[in-house]
Amino acid sequence: MLKFIREPRFAHVVTVKAASGDEPAQTIRTVYRGLHDDEARTFDLTSAEGEKAFLRAVVAEVHDIQDEDGEELRSSPELIEALLGWGYIRYALVNGYFEAQLKARLGN
């Protein structure tokens, strides 16, 4: 029997490569909301604004993030919005969503 979850959530560790390329990659533990295929198709992932709109819909929480002083930052809509302003982070978060989806499909 299938247990149908109307609003699925799933966690995935996202690898973020530094914008400069000189620094080591870092990770963000991300909790995503799953989107129905029909809704996912409505987003234009070829522009920064389209990526931001998509990520606002799918990113529920972010964890394992510190500020410049090493203090852990709690997940919040404001933190997520701040992260979306950086292209290299958006790229990692978008790819993380699809990596997790592929992993789930291969597991079924």
CA–CA distances in Å: residue 92 to residues 4, 29, 35, 71 = 29, 12, 18, 22
* Domain containing residue 55: 9-107
Q: Does any domain span residue 23?
A: yes
Q: Does any domain span residue 4?
A: no
Q: Does any domain span residue 32?
A: yes
Model-level pTM?
0.88
Q: Does any domain span residue 3?
A: no
Q: Does any domain span residue 1?
A: no
Q: Does any domain span residue 41?
A: yes
Q: Does any domain span residue 62?
A: yes
Query: One digit per residue, pLDDT tens: the chain, 108 residues?
Result: 988 888 889 999 999 987 777 788 899 999 999 999 899 889 999 999 999 999 999 999 999 999 999 999 999 999 999 999 999 999 999 999 999 888 766 555
Q: Say how many domains are in the chain.
A: 1
- Give residues with Cβ within 8 angstroms of 13, minimum separation 6: 27, 28, 29, 30, 96
Q: Does any domain span residue 2?
A: no
